[in-house]
Amino acid sequence: MSVASQDTAVKTGGIAKVFIYLILILFALFYLLPLYVMLTNSLKPLSEITGGNMMSLPRDWTIEAWLSAWSTAQVGVSPTGLQPYFVNSILMVVPAVAISTVLGALNGYILTKWRFRGDTLLFGLMLFACFIPFQIVLIPMARILGLLGIAGTTQGLVLVHVVYGIGFSTLYFRNYYASFPTELVRAAMIDGAGFFRIFWRIMLPVSGPIAVVTIIWQFTNIWNDFLFGASFAGLSAMPMTVALNNLVNSSTGVREYNVHFAGAIMAALPTLLVYIVAGRFFVRGLMAGSVKG
């Protein structure tokens, strides 16, 4: 995000400043509170939650809930914990992110440096595809996955995520490459480099930042997806978000809130980690996905 410049001409006085800090800190608490509650209560035994105050720190610190959420909790019909579904999510996310990013890079390269009649229309079609409510494709997609014999499999989910991820990855790379001087491509052509060589030797080496942005964006979206997972995954390929929802909303037995929280944090952990490690790129992706300038 373009927040490099902290320089503002607006000046505010002393008392106003105190109020400003007060408001800003209150909001910080508002945003942090649910995370705090989840984290502290995931480290309490169940008895301490049902009888106690959600705001207090655990008296008996325990990682029992985490272990249970990971490997023994009842998810749907089987007491497997979330572990297999975490693995499912990874098996789904990695190829889906890789394929959609590579395709997006190639598409962006073509749409900016090998322009042809009607390319803007094609891009417009891809762009609109980013914003459709996916309900409109659920019914035919279920049929196609069945016809292709990959209904309920991880491959099926990878296909779905790649198809609906291309629009955004193309958008990112296209906007990035648009500001990359076309003269460089022409110079490389005169030097004798062809389509792939130019991409590989000239474009890719300078694509680091946008590749990171795209990978983070796709990773976050696909990891956090619920609708496609719930619609197409079946039992064996169920991703983490769907498994978490099953864990939390299963109607049998005692509600183990501490286990729910541990599970929720587990589901959030990969994207949170990415956010903490590469927040700058995460924000840039959000902005690029909304303000196309």
Partner 1 sequence: MGFLDISHVSKAYGSVQVLHEVDISVEEGEFIVLVGPSGCGKSTLMNMIAGLEPITSGDISIRGQVMNGVHPSKRNIAMVFQSYALYPNMTVAQNMTFGLEMHGVPKAERDKLLADVAKLLQIDHLLARKPGHLSGGQRQRVAMGRALVRKPDVFLFDEPLSNLDAKLRVDMRTEIKKLHQKLGTTIVYVTHDQIEALTLSTRIAVMNKGYIQQLGTPKEIYDTPANLFVATFMGSPAMNILPATVKLRDGLAYAEISDVEGKPQLLQFSQANLASWDGKNVMLGIRPEAITDIDGADRKSKNIQRFSNLVTVTEPAGSDTFVTMTASGRDVVARMRADASVAARDRFEFAINMDKAVVFDPATEARIP
Partner 2 sequence: MPVQNNRADIRTRLQDLIPKIVLAPSVAAILIFVYGFIVFTGYLSLTDSKMLPSFDFVGFDNYARLFDLPAWNTALINLVIFAALYIAICTVIGLALAILLDQKIRGEGLLRPIYLYPMALSFIVTGTAWKWFLDPGLGLENTMHLWGWTDFQFGWIKDRHMAIYTLVIAAVWQTSGFVMAMFLAGLRGIDNEILKAAQIDGASNFALYRRIVIPLLRPAFLSAFVILFHMAIKSYDLVIALTGGGPGRATELPATFMYSYTFTRNSMGIGAASAVIMLMTVAAIMIPYLYSELGRKEK
Instruction: Render 209-229 in DSSP notation, one character per residue.
Output: HHHHHHHHHHHHHHHH--HHH
Selection from 115, 97, 89, 291 nearest residue 211 by Cα: 97
Torsion of CA 208, 291, 219, 214, to 10 degrees: -20
Given the rule CB under 8 A, which of 48-56, 86-94, 155-163, 188-196 is the region that contacts partner 1? 188-196
Q: Residues 166-205, buried b or exposed e (16+ Cβ, 10 A)?
A: bbbbbbbbbebbeebeeeebeebeeeebeeeebbeebbee
Given the rule CB under 8 A, which of 63-71, 121-129, 147-155, 205-213 is the region that contacts partner 2? 121-129
Q: Is residue 137 involved in binding partner 2 (CB under 8 A)?
A: yes
Q: Which does 184 bind (CB under 5 to 8 A by kind): partner 2, partner 1, none?
A: partner 1
Q: Is residue 197 involved in binding partner 1 (CB under 8 A)?
A: yes
Q: Which CB atom, from 7 or from 183, has the smaller least distance to partner 1? A: 183
Q: Smallest gap, in angstroms, from Cβ of residue 210 to partner 1?
A: 14
Q: Is residue 127 involved in binding partner 1 (CB under 8 A)?
A: no
DSSP state letter for 206: G
Q: Smallest gap, in angstroms, from Cβ of residue 208 to partner 1?
A: 10
Q: Is residue 293 involved in binding partner 2 (CB under 8 A)?
A: yes
Identify the residue among 74, 155, 227, 250 touching partner 2 (CB under 8 A). Answer: 227
User: How many binding residues for partner 1 (CB under 8 A)?
Assistant: 16
Query: CB of 218 within 8 A of CB of 96?
Result: yes
The Cβ-side half-sphere exposure at 18, using a 13 Å CA radius, reads 2
Given the rule CB under 8 A, which of 74-82, 151-159, 179-187, 259-267 is the region that contacts partner 1? 179-187
Q: Which does 5 bind (CB under 5 to 8 A by kind): partner 1, partner 2, none?
A: partner 2
Residue ranges in 187-226 that form contacts with partner 2 under rule CB under 8 A: 194-196, 220, 223-224, 226
Q: Is residue 118 involved in binding partner 1 (CB under 8 A)?
A: no
The Cβ-side half-sphere exposure at 215, using a 13 Å CA radius, reads 12
Identify the residue among 93, 111, 202, 243 touching partner 1 (CB under 8 A). Answer: 202
DSSP state letter for 75: B
Torsion of CA 252, 255, 258, 259, to 10 degrees: 0
Name the 3-class secondary structure at 104.
Answer: helix
Over the window 57 to 96, marking each residue x when it contacts partner 2 by CB under 8 A and - when it does not, the resulting string is: ----------------------------------------
Which residues contact partner 1 (rule: CB under 8 A)? Answer: 181, 183-184, 186-193, 197, 201-202, 205-206
